[in-house]
Structure 1
Amino acid sequence: MVTRHFLHVSRPLLSFSAVIALVNVLFSSSPSRASDSAFMVNPSPAILRELAAELDGTLRIHVLDSWFPRCIDNDRGGFLCTFDRDWTPAPASRQPKTVVFQSRMTWVAAQVVLHRPDLADRCRPIVRHGADFLLHMWDSRHGGFLWEHPLPSGSPRFRQPKHSYGNAFAIYALAAASAALDDPALRDKAIATFHWLEQHAHDSVNGGYFDALDLDGTPLPVREPATTPYDIPLVDTVGTPFGCKSMNTQLHLLEAFTELYRVWPDARLRARMDELLHIMLTRIHAWPGTQYMNFTADWKVIPAPISFGHDVETTFLLADAAAALGRPDDPAIWRAGRSFVDHALRVGWDPENGGLFNTGSTLYGPTPPFVKIWWVQFENLNTLLLLHERYGLPENNPVYWTRFVEQWRFIQNHLIDPRYGGWYREVAADGTLIPGPGSAKGWQWKAAYHETRALLLAIDRLKRLAAGMSGSS
């Protein structure tokens, strides 16, 4: 059982609420540096290091200390997902054990082990705890990972027993856990999951992967609106029409395959990564810098709003996959990736309040509900700094850095809960808290995965940029 926290506090020990208050004072943005032109346009190495320290303190307090060890379920295994604003856990009946949430929290702990040596000893038991539960979610009869363990019974609204998206995150977590624990058995289970998807979900005719799968791995058929009873959903848990494919699933399969390729550089896996990159660039990428969301089996577009968060997330994941394949400067990848961010900043960014809206129309701006969701802000944070390093510095163009700082201040000022710690799920356009579910700290779709990746990568990138400037001065 893990009981230690991630922030070192000298005695006398403070209560958690007092620690939160102290951190908010230490890392507050007041007086706001957003008004400091030197900070916004031409940051010095000292400012970059100071900002990295802010992000690091936030990671430790509002991610690691907020989630661990309270989310560890020592009774039923795995991780608890549902928490109220004050981190009160919901009863067991409201704690579904989905493969996506369990995988994401396992991956979070594994990334801390791999990237933060000072915290590795504390997180290894968490990685093992999560990986052990994931292995119980494997279907010993049919193969593949169940969407939820145990599967709900007797509910006509339960959408699918298995999903390529869920199996993708299992691969993602197990590959990272195998590296963090030096455990080849976890890598082998990730490889087995890849082969299972190849056999059942891969479309050998049109390319890509089907989304929703039956228990035996068969892709579930299309449900026609005119003939499907009203109490039977037309879309699966991820939001994809049954019998179809989605940007979301192809993207996260690419993400998972990239993680697996780092521990298992297999030729067939590489071929599937190339296939998915080609699909992302030629089928899913849409003018002038966004993505189609859902498709029929043969890649005909199904109309849907665009997702600014997925667009900026895709920029990073495309670049990460290309780098893993030895093509870090692939011009087609970077053209598409930059177009996603430039379009999101032009159409989805809130120039009055800061932050990125959730959904929108390609050219007409955000669409209701006009909210700022936590994961969208963190994916934008990570990608903005990536593009600042790639384009902003060599072009002497401050736009990505300026938006990065504004995005970080929006997160600090509006998404962090100053009383109980952690992030709100969503806030209104002006940053005010939306009462009710918007204040929840955890549910099956709100793990710590987006923010952990964004903060770890941004901290390392800020330090690298500072070191580069210091070395050249």
Structure 2
Amino acid sequence: MEGFKEEAKRILAFWSEHMVDHKYGGFYGQIDGRNQLHPDANKGAVLNCRILWTFSAAYRTFGSPTYLQVAERAFHYIMNYFIDKTHGGLYWELDSKGDVINAKKQIYAQGFAIYGLTEFYLATSNAKALELAINLFHLLEKHKDTHHGGYFEAFTQDWKPLADMRLSAKDANEKKSMNTHLHILEPYTNLYRVWKDKRLKGALRELIIIFREKIVDPASYHLNLFFNEAWGVKSTDISYGHDIESAWLLLKATAELNEPALKGQIHMLAVNIARAATDGIQQDGSMIYEKKPDGIDMDRHWWVQAEAVVGFMYSYELTDDKMYLNLASNLWAYIQSYLVDNVAGEWFWSVDDNGRPNRIDDKAGFWKCPYHNGRMCFEMISHFSFE
């Protein structure tokens, strides 16, 4: 496999050349699927934190001052506009000028802030970034579920219970989700790399155990997606992309803890999850989106393919089973043939079963960020030494 360095630079160029908001600061909120810029689109916390992570990681990977400048832009915009200086945490959504539209405290967004801030700290040694990441950690721990374990989905601006806790309109309105816990596991892993705090270590270990004992289905090794407060399962859908993404993120988290017994258990679990995720692989080498009781979503989403490349490579590294190497190679070939937009740049949101690109959903926006595909490239370059 090759071409990851070139692809990373193409992705980064799209964002640095087309998404910088020179009028109001930070980054534009949307370029649609037909490559039209919407300068008045709202700006989301998740998008901005993912930009911060991506360009910080890009600077660590390539050393380009251009990537550092974009990362610094994201950091300062988050500090100046998204941080709630009264109640703590990040606002969920701003308008194009930076005024608060939705002040709720979605835990998913706080997690991505920690992820971006710690990566920025790794890139720059900026003490304020680490301080804010640590403060957010303490805030999340203050509001976690101390009875049943884990993290609630969302709160009001002043951290009170919230009736509608959904991350997005397509999600179930339940108190806990796999997705939020996955994206707390991820930033806590990154934070522990730079801050060897005893409480953080315990929280990270608890998250790993929650995945092992509550989230991963012990019969199928697919991930359950939604839960009530007491971890009762409230969904039957299968998300193949989250399966494979969780497999390698669990490995990274466990590696940071350096506990041999737990490491052995999670290695076995991760391989079983990866094997279960192969249920979503199609004859053309791609991975479909999800399976629901009423049918299968056959679209090939950009982030699913990217996470699958990385996840199967980690499975190959663990097992030396060339099946996983072939799966990753075939996915990368599919991405290059169908998902990369060689005309306008970046990747399409998805393509259908016949390889036709989706031009309705965003090219860049509230949820379409450079994080999944950018991270795939960085992992392939830095961890697996593919150029």
Does the residue aligned with 1:68 lie in a helix, a strand or coil? helix
Does the residue aligned with 2:73 lie in a helix, a strand or coil? helix
Asked if the contact 2:105/2:159 (under 8 Å) is kept, the reply is: yes
Output the CA distance in 2 between the equivalents of 1:165 and 1:236: 8
Using the TM superposition, give the Cα deviation of residue 369 of structure 1 relative to its aligned residue in structure 2, in angstroms: 3.0
Match of 2:216 in 1: 285
Match of 2:127 in 1: 184
Provide, for residues 429-463 of structure 1, a one-character-per-residue CA deviation record: whole Å limited to 9, x for no partner.
232223x314x311210000001111111123442
Asked if the contact 1:168/1:256 (under 8 Å) is kept, the reply is: yes
Asked if the contact 1:210/1:219 (under 8 Å) is kept, the reply is: no
Q: In terms of Rg, which structure is larger?
A: 1
Tell me the TM-score normalised to structure 2 length. 0.93
Pair 1:389 & 2:313 matched:
no
Asked if the contact 1:84/1:441 (under 8 Å) is kept, the reply is: yes
Pair 1:411 & 2:335 matched:
yes
Equivalent of 2:154 in 208, 212, 230: 212
Output the CA distance in 2 between the equivalents of 1:406 and 1:236: 32
Pair 1:369 & 2:297 matched:
yes
Pair 1:460 & 2:369 matched:
no
Output the CA distance in 2 between the equivalents of 1:241 and 1:85: 26
Match of 1:146 in 2: 91
Equivalent of 2:8 in 43, 54, 59: 59
Output the CA distance in 1 between the equivalents of 2:368 and 2:73: 19
Output the CA distance in 1 between the equivalents of 2:198 and 2:267: 24
Asked if the contact 1:240/1:246 (under 8 Å) is kept, the reply is: no
User: Which letter maps to 1:124?
Assistant: L
Asked if the contact 1:212/1:243 (under 8 Å) is kept, the reply is: no
Does the residue aligned with 1:360 lie in a helix, a strand or coil? strand
Asked if the contact 1:107/1:177 (under 8 Å) is kept, the reply is: yes
5+ long unaligned stretches in structure 2 = none
Tell me the TM-score normalised to structure 1 length. 0.76
User: Which letter maps to 1:213?
Assistant: F
User: Which letter maps to 1:138?
Assistant: I
Greater Cα shift, 83-92 or 169-178: 83-92
1:18-29 equivalences under 5 Å are none
Pair 1:308 & 2:240 matched:
yes
User: Which letter maps to 1:100?
Assistant: V
Q: Once the two structures are aligned, what percentage of the paired residues are identical?
A: 28
Equivalent of 1:263 in 194, 203, 208: 194
1:185–1:238: structure 2 CA closer, same or farther, 3 Å change rule? farther
Provide, for residues 239-291 of structure 1, a one-character-per-residue CA deviation record: whole Å limited to 9, x for no partner.
55445100000110010111111111111011100111110000001022211
User: Which letter maps to 1:199?
Assistant: K
Output the CA distance in 1 between the equivalents of 2:197 and 2:384: 33
Output the CA distance in 2 between the equivalents of 1:142 and 1:239: 28
Equivalent of 2:325 in 401, 405, 413: 401
Match of 1:380 in 2: 308
Asked if the contact 1:81/1:447 (under 8 Å) is kept, the reply is: no
Asked if the contact 1:381/1:454 (under 8 Å) is kept, the reply is: yes
Does the residue aligned with 2:199 lie in a helix, a strand or coil? helix
Asked if the contact 2:155/2:165 (under 8 Å) is kept, the reply is: no
Output the CA distance in 1 between the equivalents of 2:169 and 2:251: 24
Output the CA distance in 1 between the equivalents of 2:168 and 2:86: 23
5+ long unaligned stretches in structure 1 = 1-50, 153-157, 222-232, 467-473
Using the TM superposition, give the Cα deviation of residue 304 of structure 1 relative to its aligned residue in structure 2, in angstroms: 3.5
Pair 1:317 & 2:253 matched:
no
Pair 1:437 & 2:360 matched:
yes
1:295–1:212: structure 2 CA closer, same or farther, 3 Å change rule? same
Match of 2:286 in 1: 355
Output the CA distance in 2 between the equivalents of 1:178 and 1:302: 38
Provide, for residues 374-398 of structure 1, a one-character-per-residue CA deviation record: whole Å limited to 9, x for no partner.
0000000111111112212xxxx32
Equivalent of 2:68 in 105, 124, 130: 124
Output the CA distance in 2 between the equivalents of 1:274 and 1:171: 17
Asked if the contact 1:220/1:243 (under 8 Å) is kept, the reply is: no
Does the residue aligned with 2:351 lie in a helix, a strand or coil? strand
Match of 2:45 in 1: 99
Output the CA distance in 1 between the equivalents of 2:17 and 2:343: 19
User: Which letter maps to 2:328?
Assistant: F
Number of residue-to-residue matches in the alignment: 380
